[in-house]
Amino acid sequence: MMRKLGRTIAISFVLTLGFASGLSWAASADDRYERALSAMLADLGNSEASFEFAKVATAVGDVRGAIAALERILLVNPTLANIQLELGVLYARTGSLDLALPYLESALRAPDMPLAVRERAEEYLARASSSQRRHSLSGQISAGIRHDSNGNAAPDGDIFLDGRPVPLSSDSTGASDASLVATAELSHLYSLNTQRGSTVETDLLLYSTRYDDLEELDLNLADLTFGPRFFGGSILEPSYSIRPFFSTAYWTLNGDDYLQTVGCGFDLRKFFETGTVLGLRFHYRDREFTDYEVDGVIRRVEDRSGDNYEATASLSRRHGRWQLTGLLRYEHNSADEDWESYDRISLGFYPQVFFAFSDAGRPWSFSFGAGLRETRYDAADLIVTTTKREDTRWDASARLTAPIGQRITVSLLGIYTDNDSEVALFDYDNTGATLSIEWRF
């Protein structure tokens, strides 16, 4: 009895404190609002006072008052891109998208606008534009030429397996080659007409590569992902999003069926005020490989079929002209045969710097990256060797991108891969370079 009474008193005390704290916060917010309003009215030409009032008014829900204060600032200095952006965001919040769009578009036209402000304006412009119409389509198409020093990812020469020398034919060793590469990424958004801008997203990736000599490696890929994205947090600044999705993919190799997948998963993103984005993604796929033929010889790959699980954590931070991205991924592949089943851990770090804004207002960028991938297979392929395969792969890359208009970008990419394997048949390195042109819409 005394314990129940004690708990009742404790709960009542906590609730009373919470209620009192809520009243204190509300009173404090009202006091700040009144002080900011008085300061602004005392000097209507003071832009700093008007901006301070706009921030306080937005916090307490007086959106109309905040709009009036920001418009007053633009009367004094109509070229302030950050004020144009805030006005566009506030008009979008009130549902006046016809008034929001000109401010957002005007903010994007400012040549000296800080990169962080530009990205925020582009995000809200896309959201406001898609809200005006239920359907919106965007994407990018690129085409380029690539050269690899070891296009077929094969050893340099004869190898040793289980201590025995194994001579390799010229067709089984590394070969340099050039290829044509084309990619199309399409994204369709269907607005759910919610205040936070939730959508149904459909993403389609199309990829194709054509080699000059290694025709057996010609690859086609179509990958489709579909699912809704829900935003949470405040209306103006969502603090997170979650997207459950379904996926399917179809691959061909040298014109023959190679791989089909179906799967599902979810994508979670957490947004922080510092410009940091934390991403968590889980993806399950049922993979079905199909044997294919090369020069009359059947290549057996059906034993690779099975369940594939992939979990990825990423962290991205924008700081000034720099964007830093880190990635950690774990993958488990459960194939029909143990020697095709594996566990894989990947680490990656990818910095990017923006510089030299073009006449179109878009920056050049230079990015570089380093990645480490460790793969351990469940069993040895006794047809080849008694050694269980373990691979350690290092990747390095550098890319320079240069915009030549509002929608067109030219890029030069260089890559290096070093795969060190316990089974010499899979030991190789490769150096490659790609020159491509990309069109965004």
Query: In whole angstroms, what is the distance from residue 183 CA to residue 238 CA?
Result: 31
Q: Which residues of 239-275 are buried (b: 16+ CB within 10 A; e: fewer)?
A: eebbbebebbbebbbbeeebbbbebbbebebbbeeee
Residue 68 pLDDT: 84
Q: Is the pLDDT of residue 116 over 70?
A: no
Query: In whole angstroms, what is the distance from residue 7 CA to residue 436 CA?
Result: 69
Q: Mean pLDDT throughout 211-232?
A: 95
Whether 2-132 and 135-440 share one fold: the answer is no
Which one has a higher pLDDT value, 153 or 97? 153
Write the single-letter amino acid at 190: Y
HEC profile for 190-243? EECCCCCCCEEEEEEEEEEEEECCCHHHCEEEEEEEEEEEEEEECCCCEEEEEE
Of 2-16, 191-205, 255-269, highest mean pLDDT: 255-269
Write the single-letter amino acid at 318: R
Q: Is the pLDDT of residue 4 over 60?
A: no
Q: Mean pLDDT throughout 398-403?
A: 94
Report residue 95 as tokens: 């549902």
Backbone angles phi, psi at 53, to 5 degrees: -65, -40
Residue ranges per domain, the chain?
2-132, 135-440
Query: In whole angstroms, what is the distance from residue 270 CA to residue 280 CA?
Result: 9
Residues 6+ apart with CB under 8 A from 420: 391, 392, 393, 394, 427
The CATH code of domain 135-440 reads: 2.40.160.40
Q: Is the pLDDT of residue 9 over 60?
A: no
Asked if residues 422 and 385 have their Cβ atoms less than 8 Å apart, the reply is: no
Q: Mean pLDDT throughout 360-386?
A: 90
Residue 268 pLDDT: 96
pTM: 0.74
pLDDT, mean over the chain: 84
CATH class of 2-132: mainly alpha
Report residue 203 as tokens: 């993403």
Query: In whole angstroms, what is the distance from residue 256 CA to residue 261 CA?
Result: 16
Q: Which has the minimum average pLDDT: 127-136, 177-186, 276-285, 325-334?
A: 127-136
The percent of residues above 90 in pLDDT, for the chain, comes to 50
